[in-house]
Amino acid sequence: MSAAAITTVKMSSFVFVILIGASMFSLVFRGFEGDDMISNFLTNLPGGEYGALLVVMITIFLLGFFLDYIEIIFVIIPLVGPGLIANGADPLWLGILISLNLQTSFLTPPFGFSLFFLRGVAPKEVRTANIYRGVIPFIFIQVIAIFLVFIFPSIATWLPRLIN
């Protein structure tokens, strides 16, 4: 019981330190008008809303190789979200796309966090290379899902809109 409590306190502390760091970074970044710079960059990209969204999605996907979702959500999303919404992106659709994207990036080597979790519970006979090869079809399925939600936003937004 005490080991579980200690682990919980450590994880909670980890999240709060990230939140404090992200808040400080955001304050300084916004103080130097960095959010306006990013918003202007996104609104001036060729392709309008879709061009900006594509750049952000690729960036988040690549960051997901190396960063945990907490860092991406609390540091990157507040920087790019307002620019994408100002460009005309539906916030609900944007949130679902980013969630799918983060989920996919956690399956990708070299630092796919889901792969590390699987490595920890898999039998010793299962090699890491086998896990990496075995996840490839799932990555393709996820990429197809992201593409479909990107092209047809109503796939992801019809149910929440129906409930609301």
Domain ranges of the chain: 2-163
Q: Does residue 110 have a cis bond before it (omega within 30 degrees)?
A: yes
pLDDT reported for residue 9: 86
26: which 2 tokens? 């955001």
pTM (whole model) above 0.85 = no
Whether a cis peptide bond, with omega within 30° of 0, leads into 91 is: no
At 60-83, the pLDDT tens digits run 998 888 887 888 888 888 888 888
| Residue 124, SS3 per DSSP | coil
Per-residue pLDDT of the chain (164 residues; tens, 9 = 90+): 788 888 888 888 887 888 888 888 888 888 898 888 888 888 888 888 888 999 999 999 988 888 878 888 888 888 888 888 888 889 999 999 999 999 888 888 777 777 777 778 888 888 888 888 888 899 899 999 999 999 999 998 888 888 87
